Structure 1
């Protein structure tokens, strides 16, 4: 009689403990942040990596509420898009599947008429 070793049980892979921006996303966000700092619009930022979302917040001054929050919600990937631009009052200004399209509204704020 042959004895077969037990088949090892491999549980399903666990969901990541926190969501984060990847290198390309951070590069695009920090590029916009650098242009806005050079224009004198923004002064500080904060990054939060939570269980269900990643948040990049920008501030005019360090002691204020954030002017904008750029959020990544992977659970909304197949619905409204996983990237969102949230205003100071918590209203979602733009949502989409492409980070560049979501950030385009903030890039337009840099274009000003010359007097």
Structure 2
């Protein structure tokens, strides 16, 4: 299955999902953010038009960020987007690594 191929669920509907390479990139960032104490939990949703990786500071609250994959936008604004807690699109693009760089700024800290 390639990154743009949705999978079918039991009801016969197709759903968008992240593939292995995409998850490796996202989980690499997630691991570094957990080690830095910024993030604590995540959730993954595979919906009809979008796959979502949600990041939480605590399990019981709203996500801090959503990393979305929308195949219908791949020829326009870009396949991937990072969306903040307030729904604002922080970065959108065609390359997942470059889109995730907006979140890596939190890892850069002043060393005294």
The interval holding the TM-score normalised by the smaller chain is: 0.7 to 0.9
* 1:94 is the counterpart of 2:91: yes
Report the Cα offset of residue 100 of structure 1.
Answer: 0.4
**Number of aligned residues:** 101
SS at match of 2:109: coil
- Kindly state the Cα deviation for residue 105 of structure 1 after the two structures are TM-superposed: 1.3
Query: Hey, which of these two has a bigger chunk of strand by percent?
Result: 2
CA-to-aligned-CA distance 1:45-73 (integer Å, 9 cap, x gap): 00000010000000000011000000000
**CA displacement at 1:82 relative to structure 2:** 0.8
User: Is 2:90–2:102's contact at 8 Å kept on the other side of the alignment?
Assistant: no
Unpaired segments of 5 or more residues in structure 2?
Answer: 1-5, 8-13
- Work out whether 1:79 is the aligned partner of 2:76: yes
SS of 2:63's equivalent in the other structure is: coil
State TM-score, norm by structure 1. 0.85
The root-mean-square deviation of aligned C-alpha atoms, in Å, is 1.0
- Give every structure 1 segment of 4 or more consecutive aligned residues whose post-TM-superposition deviation is greater than 6 Å: none
Aligned 1:1-115 pairs, distance under 5 A: 16=7, 17-115=14-112
Structure 2 length as normaliser, TM-score?
A: 0.87
Query: What is the alpha-carbon distance in structure 2 between the residues aligned to residue 41 and residue 109 of structure 1?
Result: 8
Q: For residues 90 and 75 of structure 1, what CA distance do their matches in structure 2 show? A: 19
